[in-house]
Amino acid sequence: MPSPETFAVFTVTALGVLLIPGPAVTYLVARSIDQGRAAGLVSVAGLGLGTMAHVVAATLGVSAILASSAIALSALKYLGAAYLIAIGIRTWLGRDAHDAPVHGEEPAPISRGDLWRAFRQGVVVNVLNPKTGLFFLAFFPQFVDPDAGPAWAQLLVLGTTFVLLGLCTDGAYALLASRLGTWLRERPSFVRRRRYVTGGVYVSLGVAAALTGGTRARTAVSGSA
């Protein structure tokens, strides 16, 4: 187990990293504004599960294997980018009850199917993001003490802590974004354009993910080893 001092430093550092908005937070905010609090919170849970998958992969050494393979890393990156673009296009083409103006706390009663879809997409979006795994490979080893026990156990503790902290910070973003969405939905101009704005955010994230190279990230991981 990490020492209390190391764990405290890790927690503060992890919180600083998590509070800086990144692609996952952008995705989450777009989802929360578009579909409301419930969809935002289940997306948080999905993103958390996707992050936990990377934690387990890093603990088992799978992430290190992927990081050493340019082909595997690129395939994962492009799959994730294509998935985000597909979500955006589906949002552009979709027409449902959520297109109607709503003046309540939530945009409309959201079905269990919609909630399950939001959860599933959150999982897949994070699992198919190779940068998350590369970040863990570069970040977590700095807090592993060889004299404090098995490295895999320390990585698992640190990773689980990171996921739990992420659920808190992402949950806060989801709640704030859903409140913003409630305010925006009282404006007819936003209601008319929300599908296109939300879909545009997803497509932009996908394009950015596809155009961002993984070479520098692999170099940073190799340098930290």
- Rounded CA-CA distance 109/180 in Å is 18
Q: Is the pLDDT of residue 89 over 50?
A: yes
Look at 35-49, 89-103, 189-203 and tell me which has the smallest mean pLDDT: 89-103
How much is the pLDDT for 133? 82
Average pLDDT over every residue of 188-197: 73
State the Cα angle at 19 between 64 and 17, rounded to 5°: 30
User: How would residue 190 be classed by pLDDT, with cut points 50, 70 and 90?
Assistant: low
User: How would residue 158 be classed by pLDDT, with cut points 50, 70 and 90?
Assistant: very high
How much is the pLDDT for 121? 92
Burial class (CB in 10 A: 0-12, 13-18, 19+), 5: exposed
Q: Is the pLDDT of residue 16 over 50?
A: yes
Helix then strand count (H, E) for the chain reads 10, 0
Share of the chain above pLDDT 70, in %: 84
CA distance readout (Å), 140 to 67, 125, 137, 173: 15, 22, 6, 24
User: How would residue 221 be classed by pLDDT, with cut points 50, 70 and 90?
Assistant: very low
CB of 36 closer than 8 Å to CB of 183 = no
Average pLDDT over every residue of 104-111: 57
How much is the pLDDT for 100? 46
User: How would residue 218 be classed by pLDDT, with cut points 50, 70 and 90?
Assistant: very low
Share of the chain above pLDDT 90, in %: 33
Average pLDDT over every residue of 55-76: 78
Domain boundaries, the chain: 4-224
DSSP 177-213: HHHHHHHHTTSHHHHHHHHHHHHHHHHHHHHHHHHS-
Whole-number average pLDDT of the chain: 81
Indicate the pTM of the whole model.
0.79
Neighbour count for residue 126 (Cβ, 10 Å) = 23
pLDDT digits (tens, 9 = 90+) for 118-146: 999 999 999 988 888 888 888 888 888 87
